[in-house]
Homo-oligomer: A and B are copies of this chain.
Amino acid sequence: MGGRLTRQRAAVLRVLAGCQDFVSAQELHVRLDAAGVPVGLSTVYRALHALERTGQLDVVRDEAGERLYRPRPADGHRHYLICRCCGRSRPLDSDVVERWAERVGAESGFSAVEHTVELSGVCARCTGARP
């Protein structure tokens, strides 16, 4: 990340790395409190923006439109299948989509083409637990 390494940013990175699934800024804020490192909400948002800008996070939106963040593996962005019930996510093998998006973008006459691809469903565990 470009800026200074403050106590708060270190904490955001550490707690975020400890999350195996997508978290919202608000959740992260609460978890930081719980971890004994209170960080202002504005600062959480700023840290997330910085991480997003430098490509260290994958971002999705839940059904309410809230942004959810997850640390991105080193080798490029991923797309995920997320359980609408419990929130657990698994990364997908999305080569097919990456190539499709690239081709469509190239053929379109548009520049700076970006893509959003998200899958959601109900995972096996949640299906079983649902009366």
Contacts and interface: CB of A to CB of B under 8 A. Distances in A.
Interface in A89-131: 90, 92-94, 96-97, 100-101, 104-105, 108-124, 127
Nearest to A94: B100
A22 B84 CA distance: 26
Copies assembled: 2
Interface in A26-44: none
A53 interface: no
Contacts of A112: 84, 121-122
A104 B95 CA distance: 12
23 contacts: A65-B67, A81-B108, A81-B113, A84-B112, A96-B96, A96-B97, A97-B117, A100-B100, A104-B119, A105-B119, A109-B124, A111-B122, A111-B127, A113-B119, A113-B120, A113-B121, A114-B119, A114-B120, A115-B118, A115-B120, A116-B117, A116-B118, A116-B119
Interface of A: 61, 65, 67, 81, 83-84, 90, 92-94, 96-97, 100-101, 104-105, 108-124, 127
